A and B are shown apart, each in its own frame.
Chain A
Amino acid sequence: MSEFLLSVAAALLIASGCLFFLAGTVGLLRLPDFFCRLHATTKCDAVGGVLILLGVALVAGADGQTVRIVALIALIAISSPTAGHALARAGWHAGHRPWTRESGEKEKSHEPE
């Protein structure tokens, strides 16, 4: 019984992780500017990846593998937000400015039909 519950928990974690990846990918394709897209995609690794790895760790159980998975989670939790931060900073200094509704309207009116 407890094994069944463990599998269900793992499946839920992995499925929600996949959901984060899906949302991140949709965001990358659909959001209007650099910062919004970055915001969407950094959720993939940081949250989606960690959730999937947690699910895998549950399946692996008390095993040597689990130690490695926990180490991987720590690595992702440290490195992914840092990468996002570095990209956002570099984008800001390279002259990107966050999209607002007004600037979006202005761009739209400049665009030919």
Chain B
Amino acid sequence: MRNALALVVVIVLAGLMMAGVSQLPPPGSPDGAVHRHVAAHYIDGGKEAAGAPNLVTAVLLNYRALDTYGEVVVIFAALLAVLAVGLAGHSRGPQRGADELPVSPVVDLVIRLLAPFIALFALFMILEGHVLPGGGFQGGVVLGALMILLGLVLGPRRLRRMLPTPALFWTRSVALLAFALVAVAGLALAGWLFALPEQYWLRELIIVGLELAIGIGAAFALVGFYLSLEADRHR
């Protein structure tokens, strides 16, 4: 009975989808709806309007800024959930890191050798994100991976000591705060959320600032995940 019902549901849904797909314009046709309205508008004025020479960035941080804000909130919420779960288990006594292995001198040397280059690459990805494909999230992930790598070599305790709680507090929430600030400033000064100022250099500066905030936020969210999983391992 349930199988028959499932079959009916599948057939109905598949029929609806087939009907929808059959109405689509042929892929790549220049007079499809997607290519005539918004996309043409973005391509014509995107660079000036959005303050980003790269159109993907223009869409991500300006036309769809609210959407990106949502993504930032999702990452932040995930971090909050992980931290909350970690806190809930912390009452079981002090942490023990008894089985910690000394780091191999080879790995230590190579990571020290490569770390500056990785950091430079992360920063490059974040800052060049408004000119080239790439950007805040990707660069932030590279930066976060670098810090996790350093945590593996130096030991999580030294990583934790390098990142005092106030610093963690601000770096984790910086993306959220920056987006909220830009949104509210736009609303106050121009009348709608994420409105950017008239001057082009100011627009570009704000976009770069947002990229930087996303990168730092993503990096420290990753470090937060790592530190709290690491603390969990010793319990």
Residues of B within 8 A of A60 (CB): none
What number of A-B contacts does a CB cutoff of 8 Å give?
A: 18
Check A86–B104 contact: CB distance below 8 A.
yes
List residues 102-116 of chain B with CB under 8 A from any CB of chain A.
104, 106-107, 110, 113-114
Residue B101 lies at the interface, judged by CB distance under 8 Å to chain A = yes
Check A79–B106 contact: CB distance below 8 A.
no
The 0/1 profile, CB within 8 Å of B marked 1, for residues 73-92 of chain A is: 00100110010011001000
Check A79–B104 contact: CB distance below 8 A.
no
Count chain B residues whose beta carbon lies closer than 8 angstroms to a beta carbon of A: 7
Size class of A's contact patch? under 10
Q: Give bound CA distance, A82 to B113, whole Å.
A: 12
Check A93–B110 contact: CB distance below 8 A.
no
- With A78-B113, A78-B114, A79-B114 already in contact, the answer to whether A93 and B107 are too (CB < 8 A) is no
- Report which A residues bind B (CB closer than 8 A): 75, 78-79, 82, 85-86, 89, 93
- Report which B residues bind A (CB closer than 8 A): 101, 104, 106-107, 110, 113-114
Could you jot down 16 A-B contacts, CB within 8 Å?
A: A75-B114, A78-B110, A78-B113, A78-B114, A79-B110, A79-B114, A82-B107, A85-B104, A85-B106, A85-B107, A86-B104, A86-B106, A86-B107, A89-B104, A89-B107, A93-B101
